[in-house]
Amino acid sequence: MKKLLIGSRESRLAVIQSEIVIDAIHACDPSIETELVTMKTTGDKILDRTLDKIGGKGLFVRELDAALLEGRVDLTVHSSKDLPMELDPRLPLAAFSRRADPRDVLVLPQGKDSLDPEKPIGCASQRRRLQLGALFPGMRVEPVRGNVLTRLRKLDEGEFSALVLAGAGLTRLGMEERISRVFSTDEILPAAGQGILAVQTRQGQDVSCLRLFDDRDARDCLLAERAFVRALDGGCSSPTAAFATVSGETITLKGMYVTARETVHFETVSGPREEGERLGASLADEMRRKYE
């Protein structure tokens, strides 16, 4: 009997997401035994500073990558939006989930039905902060760190007027009732990969057990989005966003570019889906030339 060790961050949401992958593995081959191995990453431990001040999104994968390379786990499960743009070539992305709702949402404190102008809106990214400025002029936007449940506790204890979170995470936690407003992708362009789970493995490992999990549309969208952000050196310290959709064999990608003076620009490109990564990189280069 084959046994697979699945590595995950230890938060409740991360565990739920890993269980989605485990269920897909068992559906593909019921004879495979699985064991979930959870760990706290550096990004989970340092909560008093924003990610751009402590090293970026790589802090959420460092310990998981080490576990893969050392053979302590066979697969790791990530929210795609938390992956750094540059990956260790020894640890390829093996499969991608069908995309859940990619939109950001507004969450108010329990019992409240409107924003309190005396308190800030909490969000964890520069991408959201810049777009919220146009939606809620005059409202302060301040960083909030911690997993989803930690952020909700801070909200309900009165630290914030509202939070902006990824709707997919709340839905996977079974907490849809906390959503007060869903922002369209025109109001807040999502982070690259938002709503998509990614499974990472060691180079050369058999991943046929993931064939029922892997989604072609999600893969093509994610790779195009990541190509756009990577071309701009985007991530935590350089606010960017990208969101792709596919229709038949055509992919459409919308990108967000932010100048040094924090002027925000959006542009869209379409083309053959098999050229998604090239389209993403070329759109980024074009926007950089046009707006800098």
Structure tokens at 231: 């071309």
Structure tokens at 165: 């979170």
82 noted as active-site residue: yes
pTM: 0.90
d(CA 80, CA 156): 28
End-to-end CA distance of the chain: 58
d(CA 160, CA 71): 42
Query: Which is catalytic among the residues 82, 116, 214, 217?
Result: 82
d(CA 261, CA 252): 28
Report, in angstroms and rounded to the nearest whole number, the Rg of the chain calculated over CA atoms: 19
Q: Are 192 and 74 in contact (CB under 8 A)?
A: no
Q: How many CB atoms lie within 10 A of CB 190?
A: 25
Structure tokens at 235: 């991530």
| pLDDT score of 51 | 46
| pLDDT score of 41 | 65
Q: Tens-digit pLDDT profile for the chain (292 aa)?
A: 689 999 999 999 999 999 999 999 999 999 999 999 999 765 454 444 444 444 445 566 888 999 999 999 999 999 999 898 889 999 999 999 999 999 999 999 999 999 999 999 999 889 999 999 999 999 999 999 788 999 999 999 999 999 999 999 999 999 999 999 999 999 999 999 999 999 999 999 999 999 999 999 999 999 999 999 999 986 555 689 999 999 999 999 999 999 989 899 999 999 999 999 999 999 999 999 999 8
What domains does the chain contain, in order, with CATH numbers?
Answer: 1-98+196-214 (3.40.190.10), 104-182 (3.40.190.10), 215-292 (3.30.160.40)
